[in-house]
Amino acid sequence: MPELPEVESVVRTLRDGRPSLTGLRILSARIIWDGVISGCCADDFKALLKGSRIEGISRHGKYLFFKLERERSALCYLIIHLRMTGRLLLVPKGDAPGRHTRMSLLLERDLEMRFEDPRKFGRAWLVRDVSDVTGRLGPDALAIEFEQFSARLAESRRKLKPLLLDQSVLAGIGNIYADEILFRAGLHPDSISGNLSGIEVRRLYDAVISVLKEAVAADGANIDGVFKSGHFAVSVYGRQGRPCPRCGEPILKFRSGQRGTHACPQCQILR
DNA sequence: CACTCTACCTGTGCGC
DNA sequence: TGCGCACAGGTAGAGT
């Protein structure tokens, strides 16, 4: 389940890795499953990608941006959201396509970038203006300022977990990191945002930044038998019944805002 | 405004 | 062994 740290890891791999995609031309595109595309038809999509040069790779929250340049034509962006099971793979040209390959870009230097997605939730867009797709996102969770964060919390009466998951408040946090952040902050997922003390707001903000930074540095999370991106070790996610790393009390699993939620009953008191 | 539900998907893992 | 089913997740959109 790629969230901000895993998407950042994808950006770094494709942008800074060897080989890097920066500067490479897209020779052709194959759309294996049309549903992967949002906002235009497969033929237009392929025609626009063909011959484009990848000028830059970045992200906002969980959305990946490939800045594309075409001769005698305006800049445009290929935007990809991996949702839950999407992956981007860089493979040598000619590798047999996988069962779950939804889209494939043939690139210069005999490379191919594949979008694989068993559950078909991931999507790709091609737009001139990224705000067509990501315009309603809040600031990236690693870029939000404390003042803005605390103002948003103070003015809201929402539960903390749904608030952290709301991409229009801050972009990039998903179910795994929401649980990890709330655990580190020592706050209950169902606590009401507007009820937090100044110190608690500060703790939550610091936890957002520190958990995400550590996970980025670790290249993403490693969740036993479920999900492996990098080596960030989770403390509570998926660890119901196992001892809290801080106090030893068994971790509980329950629902918060319709989402499976993991928390320590002793370290994260509802208030 | 805040919430809840549903749809979109399919691999996994459970109980029987 | 095999069947059926609930479940996991992010987001949009509709409804309460």
Q: What is the pLDDT of residues A106-140, one digit of tens each?
A: 999 999 999 999 989 999 999 999 998 998 899 99
Residue A186 pLDDT greater than 80, yes or no = yes
> Confidence class of residue A73 from pLDDT cuts 50, 70 and 90?
confident
* Contact criterion met (CB below 8 Å) for A166 and A159: no
Contacts of A231 (CB under 8 A, 6+ apart): A218, A219, A222
Closest of A248, A246, A211 to residue A232, by C-alpha: A211
> Confidence class of residue A267 from pLDDT cuts 50, 70 and 90?
very high
Q: Is A69 a catalytic residue?
A: no
A220 CB below 7 A from strand C atoms? no
* Contact criterion met (CB below 8 Å) for A34 and A42: yes
Structure tokens at A1: 């389940």
Task: Please state whether beta strands A259-263 and A252-256 pair in parallel, antiparallel, or not at all (unpaired).
Answer: antiparallel
Q: What is the mean pLDDT of residues A98-111?
A: 93
Q: What is the mean pLDDT of residues A148-170?
A: 92
Rounded (5°) CA angle A125-A129-A134: 65
- Cα–Cα distance for residue pair A45/A33, rounded to 1 Å: 13
* Contact criterion met (CB below 8 Å) for A191 and A201: no
CA of A262 to C1' of B12 (A): 20
Task: Return the pLDDT at A40.
Answer: 82
A257 CB below 7 A from strand C atoms? no
Nearest protein residue to nucleotide B5, judged by CA and C1' positions: A258
Q: Which listed residue (A15, A69, A259, A265) is catalytic?
A: A259
Chain B footprint positions (protein CB, under 7 Å): 1-6, 8-11, 13
A159 CB below 7 A from strand B atoms? yes
A136 CB below 7 A from strand C atoms? yes
Q: What is the mean pLDDT of residues A47-71?
A: 94
pTM of the model: 0.94
Q: Where are the alpha helices (DSSP H) in chain A?
A: 4-16, 42-49, 131-134, 146-154, 160-165, 175-185, 198-217
Rounded (5°) CA angle A1-A228-A252: 70
CA of A111 to C1' of B16 (A): 49
CA of A190 to C1' of B14 (A): 29
Residue A225 pLDDT greater than 70, yes or no = no
Q: Which nucleotide is nearest to A193 (CA to C1')?
A: B2
pLDDT over 70, % of chain A: 99
Task: Return the pLDDT at A71.
Answer: 84
Task: Return the pLDDT at A258.
Answer: 84
Q: pLDDT tens, A233-260?
A: 999 998 998 999 999 999 999 888 888 9
* Contact criterion met (CB below 8 Å) for A172 and A211: no
Task: Return the pLDDT at A122.
Answer: 92
Q: Is A259 a catalytic residue?
A: yes
Within a 10 A sphere around the Cβ of A223, how many other Cβ atoms?
17
Chain C footprint positions (protein CB, under 7 Å): 7-12
Packing angle between helix A146-154 and helix A198-217, nearest 10 degrees?
130
Task: Return the pLDDT at A41.
Answer: 85
A167 CB below 7 A from strand C atoms? yes
Residue A90 pLDDT greater than 80, yes or no = yes
- Cα–Cα distance for residue pair A262/A42, rounded to 1 Å: 41
- Cα–Cα distance for residue pair A49/A26, rounded to 1 Å: 7
Task: Return the pLDDT at A165.
Answer: 93
Residue A101 pLDDT greater than 70, yes or no = yes
- Cα–Cα distance for residue pair A132/A254, rounded to 1 Å: 36
Task: Return the pLDDT at A237.
Answer: 92
Q: Is A62 a catalytic residue?
A: yes
Q: Is A2 a catalytic residue?
A: yes
Structure tokens at A21: 């995609």
